[in-house]
Amino acid sequence: MKNKLMKQEIRETRKLIVYILAYMAVLSALTMLTAGVAEAGILPPPLI
């Protein structure tokens, strides 16, 4: 029983890591896109 629980935890942890990596990738892509657009002067830079 304990072994099964461990496997489930590992699976959930892996899923969480994948989600975090995907989120970070999307975030960096958006940042790069925003920076590129701001440099091109098409849109005003975001007010952060």
Per-residue pLDDT of the chain (48 residues; tens, 9 = 90+): 678 888 999 999 999 999 999 999 999 999 988 887 767 776 665 655
pLDDT at 34 (0 to 100): 83
Q: Under 8 Å CB-to-CB from 4, ≥6 apart: which residues?
A: none
pTM: 0.59
pLDDT at 44 (0 to 100): 60
Q: Is residue 28 a part of any domain in this protein?
A: yes
pLDDT at 39 (0 to 100): 74
Q: Is residue 48 a part of any domain in this protein?
A: no
Please give the tally of structural domains in the chain. Answer: 1
Q: Is residue 3 a part of any domain in this protein?
A: yes
Q: Under 8 Å CB-to-CB from 45, ≥6 apart: which residues?
A: 34, 38
Domain carrying residue 3: 1-33
